[in-house]
Amino acid sequence: MGKFILLTPLVFTLFILFMNYRRKSQHDETVSLASFIFPGIVVYAVSSLFFGLVAMISSPVISFLFDTKYQARVTEHKMMPASDGESTYTAVVEFKNDKNQQIKKNLNYSSSEPVEVGEIIKIGYKDGDETVTNLSFETQKLIIFAVTLFLFVLGLAMAWILLYSLGKDYSIVFRIGMGFVVYLVFPAAMLFFIGVMSWVIWEYFQGKRNDMPIWALRICSLFVTLLIPAFLGYMKMLFSKEKRIIKSSKKISKFKKTDFR
């Protein structure tokens, strides 16, 4: 897996640089070594992140498809000190294999919020493995969300790089990216802020935030009051825009079908 993470981005970067060189040569553009250094660094960095995430995802997928599944109990955590001062924890699980042998292994990842001790999780394990794979994906919601989000963004970047190098139309990438921001990121961000500030106000009136200054409560109330109609108006604008697009596409299709002979 380590060779895959190192070699695949290098091969992809060399391919992209070769295609860019070929495209510039065909258009009689000036080709210099300096013009390939910065793009090469950027492509290698993006592709390394992308293929690294692909390798990270492939491990639980392969384990889910091919490894034997067991029910394991989390018995303890091993603290792993990090360079930034915040420690991460690796859960240790205990289970019995198909030979009724008691086995104790570490999970194959560490996190700042580990699985609780005593929790029963599904794991994938093959005889001889140093670690086990957590297949109870509900215990990894934050990790799965973050990896999926970054993989989607990096996938768009990789698609743009590839289409640009091949001289193909890459407008579809920008349309997907804009759709992602307009239809998902903005509404999710607005809902997040509405939820957080509403929760703060609720806890204040429940007596759990008595130390909260009144000016902070007023600011939260003001933002909630403004964000709720703004969110509703934004969603109404999106849906009305969709209706206009559907109506215009129907008119165009009818116009194309009209016989003018």
Q: In the numeric block, which tokens belong to residue 157?
A: 């970047």
Compute the average pLDDT of residues 191-214. Answer: 82
Q: Which of 150, 152, 93 is nearest to 124 (CA)?
A: 93
- Return the pLDDT at 159: 92
Contacts of 126 (CB under 8 A, 6+ apart): 63, 66, 67, 68
What is the Cα–Cα distance from 61 to 54, expressed in whole angstroms?
10
Mean pLDDT over each residue of the chain, to the nearest integer: 80
- Quick check: 154 and 53 in contact, CB under 8 A? yes
- Return the pLDDT at 241: 60
Q: Is 167 helix (H, G, I), strand (E, B) or coil?
A: coil
How confident is residue 38, by pLDDT bands cut at 50, 70 and 90?
Answer: confident
What is the Cα–Cα distance from 169 to 53, expressed in whole angstroms?
26
**Res. 45: pLDDT tops 50:** yes
What is the Cα–Cα distance from 37 to 25, expressed in whole angstroms?
17
0.85 cut: is pTM over it?
A: no
Q: In the numeric block, which tokens belong to residue 5?
A: 């993470």
Pick from 132-136, 177-181, 193-197, 204-208: least confident: 204-208
Q: In the numeric block, which tokens belong to residue 53?
A: 């995430």
Q: Is 11 exposed, middle or buried (0-12, 13-18, 19+ CB in 10 A)?
A: exposed
Q: Is 27 helix (H, G, I), strand (E, B) or coil?
A: coil
- Return the pLDDT at 252: 46
What is the Cα–Cα distance from 114 to 140, expressed in whole angstroms?
9
Q: What are the pLDDT digits (tens) for 145-201?
A: 788 888 898 999 999 999 888 888 888 888 888 888 888 888 888 888 888 888 888
Q: What are the pLDDT digits (tens) for 226-255?
A: 888 888 888 888 777 655 555 555 454 454
- Quick check: 132 and 123 in contact, CB under 8 A? yes
